[in-house]
Structure 1
């Protein structure tokens, strides 16, 4: 056990800093870090005190650094959360690891699977925890879905259908609508449409069967993807130009499992798992109050403090990016 881990065990909490005052960090991850057991939001790096004000309201005594490098050099910070634009994730994750910090970085961590290599190398060299902020796998809704699948509740899986959409066409300055910041619907929400299916089934795509992709200003805004996995067929739509909708269906020869609000539980709607058997009997499990952002931070804290295995390692996240790389390659073929 390292001296760093021993010191953290004495205080029994992780001291967090946030690299950038992003809207998402202010609305979701800042509050989650503050609420999570065994963690404390202690610092923020941003370009102005004004941007820091909403964070300080939730975390009295918050230390504000006016440069990212100053936050990384702060000896009183153990872990860094990075909500920067997508194209900056790899650079600042490696910098934070080399500065001796644990890192939780927003998805997608990288724009292509090969870019995971320097992050994994830095993680292994420093012995620090680094992970993509893939919060959904920490939610009991998805844990229940995985358990039901593994128990054989739907029999042999034949088909998976995923839909995830929202409409941000009116926000032209949004980083998701800008190619230079790694925008696009597939990088933003495709990671959920593809990664959660991999999480539940434990399978990897064998081939991309079809790609229909619409682009605006150099970014994908709508796509319909079909793929062949070893034991099932996949079809999925993700879009930034459709009315909000979220649904995942696992269809087997012995039943159907459907997840409502699978990606923004508590914001889009109530998280539920619905299981319909071959006899048409329906059983539902509801999760009205779970916050997957809080669960994610608590899992991260437990890994840092206790050495507990982290549920979503970089290798899993790289697998999702490999599927995205396959989609881009199929589109060009």
Structure 2
């Protein structure tokens, strides 16, 4: 078996500490060398938390370590592209948190940087590796629920902390960037095509200036559409419905599938009010962050080509850009 790929973690964000790194440590093809932070004490504490002997008092120090082969970047949104570019230039592969950029033009810089560096850069949308979404896509494509025309998603949580990065408008905070990007991505994943136009209604917090509630529609043409709502100031909730001419699919836990536990996909082929037409499929226990890591390692080692190269991130950002434009214009925007 090949030696394990050596990861460095650029930033001690909660998503890294609570989700991604625990998943990485369960991947047989990976090893984590240490955390980097602009605060050396914070970096050391994060590494110590996982029993790692190495930490870095700057991001530059991590990139200078020849042992590091790949970097995971969970920094605030406005730092994703700048540090991904620096990591690629340093000869490191990159797995960067979503959304990869603040707009499509910024994301496109990574395409040229990948080609120049000879290293891969991937956007960390772990849902694409989870078996529940692979199964959803399979059912939708099979014709079992008929012609699939509508996807409806609600994603919300409550967070009004002005110091939280999700509530800082100038660095990429807000509902659409944080969780709306998942709704856009998953609709493209299930429909297997790109949206043509977008319309959005955006309510901004008068103090934080972030979008605290965004409702939107993406038009995929041929009568297919995504209708979704995302919020940073509503009760925590997540659910997705996919409706076809003969049935529907429901995903009760759209994003935060519990690590190491089973999930469920609901298929309803009759719409009977008593629920008699419902079939529940249990998806085997897994950790989507472990699966995400393992897939990245295979790509970084050239064992497989990415199904979703960084060009896909540019396409996702184009749709998000159009939604933000629509929020300002009040009308439909072409993607």
Q: Which residue of 2 aligns with 1:81?
A: 72
Contact 2:247 2:267 in 1 (8 A): yes
Distance in 1 (alpha carbons) for counterparts of 2:219 and 2:302:
39
| TM norm structure 1 | 0.92
Contact 1:34 1:40 in 2 (8 A): yes
Superposed counterparts of 1:174-189, under 5 Å: 174-189=164-179
Contact 1:134 1:312 in 2 (8 A): no
Q: Which residue of 2 aligns with 1:162?
A: 153
Contact 2:108 2:311 in 1 (8 A): no
Q: Which residue of 1 aligns with 2:196?
A: 206
Distance in 2 (alpha carbons) for counterparts of 1:201 and 1:123:
28
Superposed counterparts of 1:260-279, under 5 Å: 260-266=252-258, 271-278=263-270
Q: 1:154-184, CA deviations, whole angstroms, 9 ceiling, x for partnerless residues? A: 1111221110000012x22100000122101
Could you tell me how far 1:288 is from its partner in structure 2?
A: 5.6
Q: Which residue of 1 aligns with 2:298?
A: 302
Could you tell me how far 1:310 is from its partner in structure 2?
A: 2.4
Deviating above 6 A after TM superposition, structure 1's stretches of 4 or more consecutive aligned residues are none
The 3 A distance-change label for structure 1 pair 265 and 10 is closer
Q: Which residue of 2 aligns with 1:245?
A: 237
Distance in 1 (alpha carbons) for counterparts of 2:109 and 2:156:
32
Q: Which residue of 2 aligns with 1:190?
A: 180
Q: Which residue of 2 aligns with 1:105?
A: 96
Distance in 2 (alpha carbons) for counterparts of 1:213 and 1:310:
34
Contact 1:262 1:271 in 2 (8 A): no
1:124 lines up with 2:124 in the alignment: no
Q: 1:38 aligns with which of 12, 29, 43?
A: 29
**Larger mean Cα displacement after TM superposition, 312-321 or 129-138:** 312-321
The 3 A distance-change label for structure 1 pair 214 and 279 is closer
Distance in 2 (alpha carbons) for counterparts of 1:270 and 1:189:
23
Q: 1:218-243, CA deviations, whole angstroms, 9 ceiling, x for partnerless residues? A: 21110111232123132100000111
Structure 2 unmatched runs, 5+: 330-335
Could you tell me how far 1:50 is from its partner in structure 2?
A: 4.3
* Partner SS state of residue 300, structure 1: helix
Structure 1 unmatched runs, 5+: 1-8
Q: 2:10 aligns with which of 19, 27, 38?
A: 19
Contact 2:40 2:58 in 1 (8 A): no
Could you tell me how far 1:206 is from its partner in structure 2?
A: 1.6
The 3 A distance-change label for structure 1 pair 317 and 50 is closer
